[in-house]
Amino acid sequence: MTTIEIGSETQELAGKRALVTGGTRGIGAAVVRRLLDAGAEVLTTARSATGTVPEGAAFVAADVRTRAGAEALAATAQEVLGEVDVLVHNAGGAQPHQGALSIPDEEWQDALDLNFLASVRLDSLLAPGMRERRSGAIVHVSSAAVPSAAPPFLHYVTAKAALESYSRGLASELAPSGIRVNTVSPGRTATPGGEATREQWARLNAAPGRTNADDTAPLGRDGQPDDIAHAVLFLVSGRASWLTGSNIVVDGGEFSRS
């Protein structure tokens, strides 16, 4: 008889070294906790320590929106961890506007730098080490809202759409070296930052007859940070060893409705 121990996978990342961007609150903090629970050594980062760094993780303040910031973070990661086996790009976000034509140039650039180019730059600095070791897992956090192309967030979803295309291409390039690259696309998730952004969006797009039910996913609730974190943990674990170039949408069916 086979005995299955509940939680027996908790140390499946033992010996792995992980870097998680945007890991002090919300989805990022949940990802950090799941990786720590799985036995990984974790370094996380944000622009400032305004959130709560999960216990057991190392933290460094970094701004990944610039090449210099990415280079400094990569150097610190190699100093603290030695090497990086798991790279999770969670940092992201943008402020909503009245419509696409009201988004100023500087916010378009900031959205591209934070939600797309930050991943490109950090990958270019850390993936070569993975390639030398012929092993590694990279996860890009996108958004389930990409297909909707909502005008108030067009700068954000455009950057995330670019991230998804880039992720598929990078997966194809790095697969022969044993490196897996995948994307997770969260839907509406209950985080303080997400709620504040949705409130701004609602004020900009107030519509007669709008109800709370309009924002409810078919599964009947908002996502929780752990819902996303479990998907990330799966993708970086050995359980996903034959999965690369994929995009896992975790949205409770929110964007499956016609």
Residues labelled as active-site residues = 156
Element (H, E) at 179: strand 179-186
SS3 20: strand
Cβ atoms of residues 60 and 130 within 8 Å: no
Q: How many helices (H) and strands (E) does the chain have?
A: 7, 7
Position 172, amino acid: S
Distance CA 223, CA 44 (A): 22
Q: How far is CA 208 from CA 52, 104, 202, 211, 236, in A?
A: 39, 28, 12, 9, 44
Cβ atoms of residues 228 and 30 within 8 Å: yes
SS3 3: coil
Q: Which residues share a beta bridge with 42? A: 18
